[in-house]
Amino acid sequence: MPMAGAAGGLAIGSSVQTASTVATAEASSTPLRPATAPAAPSKWRPYLVVLGLVLSFTFFTLLGSTLLSLAHLPQDSIRWAGVVLLSLIGIGMLVPKVMEILEKPFERFGKAGSKNPSNGFLLGVVLGAAYVPCAGPVLAAVSVAGSTGEIGLDTVALALSFAIGTGVPLLFFALAGRGLAERIAAFRTHQRAIRIIAGVAMLALALGIVFDLPAHVQRLLPDWTAGIQQSTDKALQEATADPATPAGPTCVDGATSLGNCGPLAEISGINAWFNTPNNTPIDAAARKGKVVLVDFWAYSCINCQRSVPGLQKLHETYADSGLTVIGVHTPEYAFEKEVDNVKAGAEKLGITYPVAVDSDLVTWRNFKNHYWPAHYLADATGQLRHIHYGEGGEATTEKLVRELLVDANPNVQLPTPIFTTADNAPRATGPRTPETYLGSARVDRLDNGPLVDGVQSFTIPAKDPAQDHFALGGTWQVASQSITPTEATGTLRLAYKGKQVNLVASGEGELTWSANGEKKSMKVSGVPNGIELVRTDQTATGILELQVSPGVHLYSFTFG
């Protein structure tokens, strides 16, 4: 499960809408003036619009995500602030007096131009703020830095490059709009009407963001950048390696032999340890002379749950021979920061090897990690020798562990290998529905939305949801990471594809579900954890319908 990939498709749907808004605004701001009228708008206006967009997008993405994370506020707050500002600009274009009030604080930005230029910087600032919620991949990456209260150069570069990548095509549209306005008499003679149209377009864009229409448009378009994203992920692995180390191809994911990857990163900032003597930390001194396998995991992550049995077997088989397995638990959800929840999750998975609770993501950052699960294998001298991301690879990992154990102690008597090459491949699943988040902060495939924090009532549509989408029925209490019915049973209908459907849920109550002609139910009690709802031998599509009692919190679906 990648924490964040490349910037991806640049939120194509919302880019188109924003581009049309910028172009229309530029066209509508070029009036025909008599010789005695004030000077024409500054020729720098389109550049200032785009400059304002780039700077405000970068600023609000970095600062906003950090402040919201530190204050434990929903990330959707940025979205609504952008909608309000965009609506104000739309009203301002309809009512000139309102625009004068809005632009007054920014008059100094136009002093370098003619006597009374309309510089457009405010418009760009507002468009940049409104565009922030459309940049899901960037916000996902920034949220890790935001949750720790630290923003590094790599995070700034990510947000800024996304903003510039969006700003360049928007500048083209803005200049095109200016050119049309200067050359076509209709623009000059009907500039007031065009300004009204631009204001209506901005209000429509604000309304579209409220109902998440840009995301719907983007989902209808092909993913032209999937291959680029995969290449970027690989480049990221190589770029984050120690430049002083002759890493080579053996220090990236997928290597089948030992490499020389530099010193193992520091395990620090740990909130708690368990499965160690008296729950004491395993520091560098305690690891000296040991072969160490560090696994980044989260207890509700389905990919992590599948990789845990292999790690547990390695621990049970090779601990007496000099292997130390350390599970560094780094949370994806807020509830995974609670030490007691992590202990309960580890116990349920049968984990007996040492676990370090990294709730503040300090060790995650030390390793420059981006994935759950992720395995880092170090030799007895503390040098990192192998990296593996995701499920599978058990036979290769065991082979390399055995090599390092022999290097550390040539006289060691190793047990018979426990894995075969068949264990190297992750469990084949075929095409499947992407992970589906149910809280307001990350929801993106709700057919009868939008979903906002607070109490909301929904009516299940007569027709089934679109493929990989879901719909709600009843009254629900919506939070940033979860949803729960309020007074009566709530309904959730999901159109899925895969061999397996898992649900992360918590609280107290009952779940009843039907799929593939079968109906099942179970009691839910306790901390959030994964529940298997559907398992089939072959990949299939189907409709899953859940009846959820009040008191049960639903977080996300994962698919196998």
Can you give the pTM of this predicted structure?
A: 0.49
Strand partners, 470: 446, 494
> How crowded is residue 39: how many other Cβ atoms within 10 Å of its Cβ?
11
CB 527 within 8 A of CB 343: no
CB 282 within 8 A of CB 268: no
One pLDDT digit (tens) per residue for the chain, 560 residues: 544 333 333 333 344 344 444 444 444 444 434 444 444 456 676 777 777 777 777 776 666 656 655 555 554 555 566 677 778 877 877 887 877 776 666 555 444 434 444 456 666 666 665 555 554 444 444 444 444 445 556 556 656 666 676 666 666 666 666 565 555 555 556 667 777 887 788 788 778 766 656 545 544 444 444 444 445 444 554 554 444 333 444 567 667 788 888 888 899 889 999 999 998 998 888 888 899 999 999 887 877 888 888 899 999 999 888 899 999 999 877 778 888 888 988 888 899 999 999 988 889 988 888 888 889 999 989 889 888 888 778 888 888 999 899 988 988 888 888 887 665 555 545 578 888 888 887 788 898 878 888 899 999 888 999 999 999 999 999 988 889 999 888 999 999 998 888 888 888 899 999 987 888 988 888 766 778 888 888 888 999 999 999 999 998 888 87
Protein fold of 436-559 = Jelly Rolls (2.60.120)
Closest by CA position to 346, among listed 486, 527, 153: 527
- H/E stretch holding 173 reads helix 153-183
Residues 6+ apart with CB under 8 A from 181: 26, 27, 28, 29, 30, 187, 188, 191
**Displacement of CA 199 from its chain's centroid (Å):** 32
3-state secondary structure of 330: coil
> How crowded is residue 251: how many other Cβ atoms within 10 Å of its Cβ?
22
The CA distances from residue 378 to 282, 287, 348, 356, 456, in Å, are 14, 10, 28, 17, 51
Domain-wise residue ranges, the chain: 12-226, 240-423, 436-559
Protein fold of 240-423 = Glutaredoxin (3.40.30)
User: Distance (Å, rounded) from C-alpha 184 to C-alpha 164?
Assistant: 30
